[in-house]
Structure formats: structure tokens, C-alpha cells
Amino acid sequence: MNYQTYKPHKDLETIVKFYWTMEVPFDPKNQKQKIVPDGCVEMTFNFGDKIKRYTSETDFILHPNAMVMGQRTKSYYILPVGNVDTFAICFYPIGFANFVKTPLENLVDRETPISELFGQTEAYELEQQMIQAMNTQKRIDIIETFFLKIFNEKNTVSNIVKSTVDSLLKA
């Protein structure tokens, strides 16, 4: 297994906790792995074979290749069906809210394809760029350009202010 973490751009470090990569060659003896909640939202890109998330002892769903894993409220089990080759962005608990209009509570305990959050065309282009990137640094550059573009749009700042006020009012 090869697991690495990387620091985000300084303009994103209060939102993005870190990037991580994992490569694991297939082993037919692999067992289910327990994933415990950590409070974070993750966007993942799977360049390897599919990964099962068990919904019961025997039932499972297959993860989308480009998705956002919302905050988890309970542990769950996964099992790769082949080689693992993943790049992911781990956001601080509220960090991902800066990039989408969808309320974070709609993402809890779900794997949401990025096309549902960013639109078909933009999601497809991003996923293709990530697939074609030759190395991890290039993938980091691509994803940071994507996030910084969203972050610097005028309406993003308005959405941040609105979501902060809404959260304060709910509390």
C-alpha cells in the first residue's frame, strides 16, 4: 500500500485539510475495511477498479468514480474489487460548503457524483483532466485551479456570507 498526504495551497488551507493519494494492488484475500466518521467531507477521484460500500452484511453499492463523500454519522465497510488508485481532497467539516450551493446536510452519509454538484459539463471536464494528469502534483494543480476559480467568483462570497448567517440563525 502506498498512502501519501499533501498540503493545500495557502489560499485554501483554511478550507482544505489535505489531499491524499492511495495505491493498493489487488489481493484476492482482501477483507472489508471499516471506515469511521471523522467529521470531514471528501471529494474523491477513483482511477482504479470499483470500490464497494456495504449497506448491509451482503448488500453494497459501487462508488462513483468522481464523487463527494458527505459527512458520516456512522461507520461503514468498503472493499475494493481490484486495484486501488485514488486521489482525494479532505475538507474541514464546513469547508466544502464554500464550493457548492447544495446544503451539506443533503450530502450526509451519501456518495454524490460530482456531476450533481457542479453540473455535467464542468464535472466531466474536471474528471477528464484528473484522469489525464501525469502525476499527483499535476492533479493538485488542476483541483486547486478549479477550487480557486469557484472561490474567487463574486457569488461565492455572497453564498459564504448567507450560509454563515443561516447557520448563526439556526443556532
pLDDT tens digit string along 77-109? 999 999 999 999 999 988 999 899 899 999 999
Report the b/e string of 92-101 with b at 16+ CB within 10 A: bebbbbbbbe
- 132 pLDDT higher than 90: yes
Q: How far apart are the first and last CA of the chain?
A: 43
Burial of 75 (0-12, 13-18, 19+ CB in 10 A): exposed
Helices marked H in the chain — which ranges?
114-118, 120-132, 136-151, 154-170
**pTM, to two decimals:** 0.86
What is the average pLDDT across 119-137? 97
Residues 6+ apart with CB under 8 A from 129: 142
Read off the pLDDT of residues 70-79 as tens digits, 9 standing for 90 and up: 999 999 999 9
